[in-house]
Structures are given as structure tokens and as C-alpha cells.
Structure 1
Amino acid sequence: MLKLRTIKRVAHLHLMQEGEERWEKQLKFRNILRTNAHLVKEYVTIKRQLAQEFNNDREGYTEAKTEFINKVLFN
């Protein structure tokens, strides 16, 4: 049994079945970033800013980066 000493999360794990819509979006996003260094730099900058802004709010952090992710996926 693992005992936590703090309530701070140290990992965030996503589980999904291959072929699900979310799976396909994850792969599409990854593949687009692999081919566009400018988008990678922009995403790194956004993630760093949001990590500071939402230091103790994982859900807020995730929601805040959704606009960028959707821009990459649907433009």
C-alpha cells in the first residue's frame, strides 16, 4: 500500500482505448507538433505560463490550454 505524504499530484495518467475519438485526437495533435517546430515552441510557452498561473488547479490548467489544442487540431 502506498501512503501519500502530501496531496500534491505527481503524475497524471490518461487511459483510453485505441481507436476512440479521444485517442485519434491525441495522436493527431502529437503528429502535428512533430512536424511544426513553431507550434512546439508556442505550446511550451503556453504550458509554462499556465503551470504558474494554475499551480494548484489541474482542471483549470487543462481547460486553459484547450483553446490552443483546438486551434492546432481544427485549423
Structure 2
Amino acid sequence: MSEMTLEELWELFPIQLTEHQACWTNQYREEKDHLIRILPDTVKIHHIGSTSIEGIWAKPIIDILMEADLREFEKIKHLLEHNGYTCMAQDETHIHFNKGYTPNGFAEKVFHVHLKTYGDNDELYFRDYLNGHPEIAKEYEKLKVSLWKRYEHDRDGYTESKTAFVRKYTQKAKMQFGRRY
């Protein structure tokens, strides 16, 4: 798969949305337990993304935010790569990993891990705001569903089209919650 173009990957791994599944919380907990066993105990692990928001349609991919000290990133990267994760992108302060992508498409369980530095956790504010405001969560669901087929094979376009909404409600969450995290 490493030799495939981005377009070929998007064709093999299209955006798929499904009704909220109760099993997503358990899949996150099981993967978190696994990660706790293999990672330094200083790593903070959180369930993020639409699978962490009650009652809305989502891609059946469990997003996990891990916060750690930047000096630990290479060690964490090595541990994740030796435990079934593939590094998909990396810059100075973020590393993104996937698990559950196969040459035949998605596995039964799929995970995205976002490794960031402590405090780089806007996703937690967005998650908590939507869980506390079900009417806003439903607006987000409507937006996602409206974008689904147009961007089925264009993850970047899909994500970019949601950015303004996510920023707006992340800012509202920070005003409401203060320095919660």
C-alpha cells in the first residue's frame, strides 16, 4: 500500500458514515488498555472524533488523541509501529498513525492515533461541547452527511469542509469550559 497514490488509497478507503454504534466506546476502551500496556505511563489517552459523540453518524474509525512530552515521540512512534500501527504523517509536534488498513480495505476495527504534545487538545473541547449540546451535535451530523458523497474519495476535502464548524464550536467550548484540560 505504501506505493499507492493518494487517489488510489482514497478509492480503497472511502469515507463511510454509519449510525452511532454502542460498540465504539468498548473498542476505544480495549485499544486504550492495549496502549496503556505498551506506552510510557506519562502518556494521556483520550477518545475523540465523532465516534466519541453520542448519537451522531460517524466514520466507523476510532480516533484517539495521545498527549505526551515531545522528547518521548520517537520512543512512542517505535512502540506503536511495533504494535500494528503505521505512521502516516509526521511534523515537529504531531505524528499520525493508522491501524486497520489492509490491502483489501478496512479491517473490522480501525483506529487513528493523533500523537500531540501536552495541551494540544482542542479535540477534547469540541467533543465535550457537542456531547453537552445535542442540538449542535445533530447540526454537525447533518453537515457531515451532506458532505459524505461529494467527498467520498477525498478525505482532505471532507475535512476542510468541516473546519469552520469545528473551529466555531471549539472556540465556544473554550469560552464555556475555560482551561478544563
Both proteins in one fold, TM over 0.5? yes
The two structures have a TM-score, normalised by structure 2, of 0.34
Q: Does 1:43 find its partner at 2:144?
A: no
Question: How far 1:13 moved relative to its partner?
Answer: 1.3
RMSD, aligned CA:
2.0
Runs of 4 or more above 6 Å deviation? none
Cα distance change, pair 54–12 in 1 and its aligned pair in 2 (3 A): farther
**Structure ranking higher in strand proportion:** 2
The two structures have a TM-score, normalised by structure 1, of 0.76
Cα distance in 2 for residues equivalent to 1:27 and 1:61: 20
**Sequence identity (%):** 28
Cα distance in 1 for residues equivalent to 2:116 and 2:165: 24
Cα distance in 2 for residues equivalent to 1:62 and 1:69: 10
Q: Counterpart amino acid of 2:154?
A: D
Residue aligning to 2:170: 73
Cα distance in 1 for residues equivalent to 2:161 and 2:111: 16
Query: Which protein has the larger Cα radius of gyration, Structure 1 or Structure 2?
Result: 2
Cα distance in 2 for residues equivalent to 1:67 and 1:37: 19
Q: State the aligned residue count.
A: 68
Cα distance in 2 for residues equivalent to 1:74 and 1:37: 17
**Structure ranking higher in helix proportion:** 1
Cα distance in 2 for residues equivalent to 1:35 and 1:68: 16
Q: Counterpart amino acid of 2:155?
A: R
Runs of 5+ consecutive residues of structure 1 not aligned to the other structure: 1-5
Cα distance in 2 for residues equivalent to 1:28 and 1:16: 17
Q: Deviations over 1:19-54 (max 9, x none)?
A: 241xx1011110001100111100000011111111
Cα distance in 2 for residues equivalent to 1:66 and 1:34: 18
